[in-house]
Amino acid sequence: MLDKTIKDWSSEAAALEIEGRAFIDGQYRDALSGETRTTMSPANGQDLADVAVCGTEDADRAVVVARSAFESGVWAAMAPADRKTVLVRWAQLIEDHADEIALLECLDAGKPITDTSGGDVPAAARTIRWSGEAIDKVYDQVAPTPANCLALVQRLPLGVVAAIVPWNFPLTTTAWKLAPSLATGNSVILKPASNTPLTALRIAGLASEAGLPDGVLQVLPGPGGSLGRHLALHQDIDGLTFTGSTEVGKQLMQYAGQSNLKRTFLELGGKSPNIVFADANLEKAAAFAAIAVFFNGGQTCTAGTRLIVEDGIRERFVDMVIAQSKKWMPGNPLDPATTMGPMIDAGQLQTVANYVAVGQEEGASLVAGGKQIMLDSGGSYHEPTIFNDVDNGMRIAREEIFGPVMSVIGFKDAEEAVAIANDSIYGLAGAVWSNNINTAHKVAAAVRVGTMGINNYFGGDMTVPFGGFKQSGNGRDKSMHAFDDYTELKTIWIELD
């Protein structure tokens, strides 16, 4: 992929055969209604493929198939070492088809090809391989009982799990859900976002090719409000794992309560603080302040959208970040030189434009960007945008914009920086930049978020859990901790004569 040009990628895109049917019981199938929806590329608004619109009847069929696969034990009762073999083979097949999948993700989500081929696809393969390789190394427990007893504490799969994922990291979040849920022996029904169903559908076929038994994995494209809701309310689904907005996450908790109390784990929104002290490496901090917000066009749950800067350096530092923001001017995602692509659709672009207006009305200083660009492209492109002189009470500091908009807030000392950082309904991620280990560590410890970087942003890999405090969710993706979301603990107490 390294030497490919925009021309190479464009001609490969033109030659792609795109699968848009649902994946049920090991086969691609049309929706029972026959209904389809044309999905389009956010880069230029052009049609990509007709995708099945699954309804409640498809969901019910998928649940029956998944339940039957689970009860048969064809996967759940398979030796963990054999499940590992299948998952590792699946990861390898994803790598073997890396360019095709990277291209699909680029076209479907508008993500730069450099990101999908260098980030999303390898990350998905790594996630599946890591979970597969881990699963035959997890031991259950024997409890510390009196000598006449033996108590086993076992970890068992939930049964049938529904996974509902968003459009901003379609492939990565799909892998974060599928790898641990399948590794632990569940049968799974995945509902991709309506905007971005293509890579999930593609890798489902590869899972079969890798040896995943029929019925263990279903992928159903369709609308969240009907299909997603039906899955969340279903009486025969045991677990629900979700990545998406806090608003929908709250509904899903209610659906679980209204139905069968299915185990429900949520990865939700954020308004993450990125705190910069005067004694930090400012060059590096400025580069990462821009990465933290403009990567993926700010359509990132962990985006460091509140840049909280020590008063004495704020003006100088903002100038450095403005200079960095120029590296993030959007472009055609098929161009390997592009760092930022379009917003996912016109609706998201409008949301960003509305918040830019709100920021100005609230009295913040617009110091960079603020406009839609590439108007003739057919896509929804927005400049990297920076507001200075933001108060943490303003809407642009409190609400998740999900676009390339940074709010810069000043602070006088560490105590105030922490107070501002924690004054949010969210608690997903954050970072602190300082060359004083005492300051950095104390601030990192005091900020109430699931992941905190010290002198980095977006740090982490498969070995560490990922998830939120407060209204950023519960449960954890990645690492061995993800297995907890997809398993029940069972005690077997034996009395010996």
Contacts with ligand NAP, residue ranges (CB under 6 A): 164-169, 173, 191, 193-195, 223-225, 228-229, 232, 243-245, 248, 251, 267-270, 301, 400, 402, 428, 468, 472-473
Q: Which is nearer to ligand NAP, 129 or 230 (CB)?
A: 230
CB of 465 to ligand NAP, least distance (A): 11
CB of 164 to ligand NAP, least distance (A): 5
149 among known catalytic residues: no
Please, what is the angle between helix 80-96 and helix 198-210, to 10°? 130
CB of 167 to ligand NAP, least distance (A): 5
Cα 388 from Cα 315, distance rounded (Å): 9
Residue 45 identity (one-letter amino acid)? G
Cα 20 from Cα 30, distance rounded (Å): 9
The dihedrals phi and psi of 272, each to the nearest 5 degrees, come to -80, 140
DSSP letter for 335, please: S
Q: Burial, 139: exposed, middle or buried (Cβ in 10 Å; 0-12, 13-18, 19+)?
A: exposed
Q: Which is nearer to ligand NAP, 336 or 404 (CB)?
A: 404
3-state secondary structure (DSSP) of residue 368: strand
CB of 136 to ligand NAP, least distance (A): 27
CB of 302 to ligand NAP, least distance (A): 7
Find the residue with minimal CB distance to ligand NAP: 224
Catalytic residue among 106, 301, 310, 383: 301
H/E stretch holding 387 reads strand 385-388
Q: Are 198 and 105 in contact (CB under 8 A)?
A: yes
CB of 492 to ligand NAP, least distance (A): 35
Q: Which is nearer to ligand NAP, 301 or 417 (CB)?
A: 301
Q: Which is nearer to ligand NAP, 87 or 165 (CB)?
A: 165
- Which residues are CB-neighbours of 177 under 8 A, at least 6 positions away? 163, 165, 188, 190, 241, 243, 477
3-state secondary structure (DSSP) of residue 72: helix
Beta strands in 237-328 (DSSP E): 239-243, 263-267, 273-276, 306-310
Q: Are 63 and 160 in contact (CB under 8 A)?
A: yes
Catalytic residue among 267, 310, 383, 400: 267
Q: Which is nearer to ligand NAP, 244 or 384 (CB)?
A: 244
CA-to-CA separations, 10 to 16, 118, 243, 381, in angstroms, rounded: 10, 18, 31, 19
Q: Which is nearer to ligand NAP, 72 or 245 (CB)?
A: 245
301 among known catalytic residues: yes
User: Which residues participate in catalysis according to the annotation?
Assistant: 267, 301
